[in-house]
Structure 1
Amino acid sequence: MDLLITYDVNTTTPEGQRRLRQVAKTCEGIGHRVQKSVFEVVCDQVQRLRLEARLLEIIDADNDSVRIYQMNHGAFELARHLGAATDPDHRGPLIV
């Protein structure tokens, strides 16, 4: 499945800054960063459930927000890029 993950972590405290780094590192471990707080992920159902569980462990649900959009298969290949953009190989190996 193709997922678009966006997040907004409250970084006004040192704890929030730590959570931001942990969310980013977790997403980097499974997908491609396409903007500062936006990742494109190709995964299976088990990987998605593990990702969601890990993100729930990290975030402060009262102050942080993570949105996960399930996209149609192949949606990333149809994305139009304007300006300085990355063009990751979503179906190839992910090197962390």
Structure 2
Amino acid sequence: MLLVITYDVDTTDAQGAKRLRKVAKLCERSGVRVQNSVFEVLVDAAQLVVLKAELSKIIDHERDSVRFYRLGNSYQHKIETMGRTPLVQAGEALLL
């Protein structure tokens, strides 16, 4: 299934900046950055459980937020873009 993951990490202190880098790196390993804090991630159900658990360990649940938008398995016709597009197009493998 294709997910769109967005996050907002409070970076008003040094710990927040560190959390932001960790969240970004984890999302970069899992998918393709399509905007600053927005990633497209192609995962199965088990991979999603692991990804959520790893993100949950990183974020401050009182100050940060992560959102998961499930586009499902038939996502090819649900994505429309304008302007610059990412290097990996929807439909290509995002995970190795």
Q: TM-score, structure 2 length as denominator? A: 0.88
Q: Structure 2: how far apart are the matches of 1:72 and 1:94? A: 16
Q: TM-score, structure 1 length as denominator? A: 0.88
Gaps in structure 2 of 5+ consecutive residues = none
| Structure 1 outlier segments of 4+, above 4 Å | none
Q: What is the count of residue pairs matched by the alignment?
A: 94
Q: Structure 1: how far apart are the matches of 2:69 and 2:80? A: 18
Contact 2:88–2:94 (Cα < 8 Å) also in 1: no
Pick closer, same or farther for the CA change 1:93–1:55 going to 2, 3 Å: closer
Q: Structure 1: how far apart are the matches of 2:25 and 2:2? A: 19
How far does residue 20 in structure 1 lie from its aligned partner after superposition? 0.3
Gaps in structure 1 of 5+ consecutive residues = none
Pick closer, same or farther for the CA change 1:55–1:93 going to 2, 3 Å: closer
Matched with 2:55 is 55
How far does residue 93 in structure 1 lie from its aligned partner after superposition? 5.5
Root-mean-square deviation over aligned CA pairs: 1.6
Alignment of 1:50-89 (within 5 A): 50-75=50-75, 77-78=76-77, 79-89=79-89
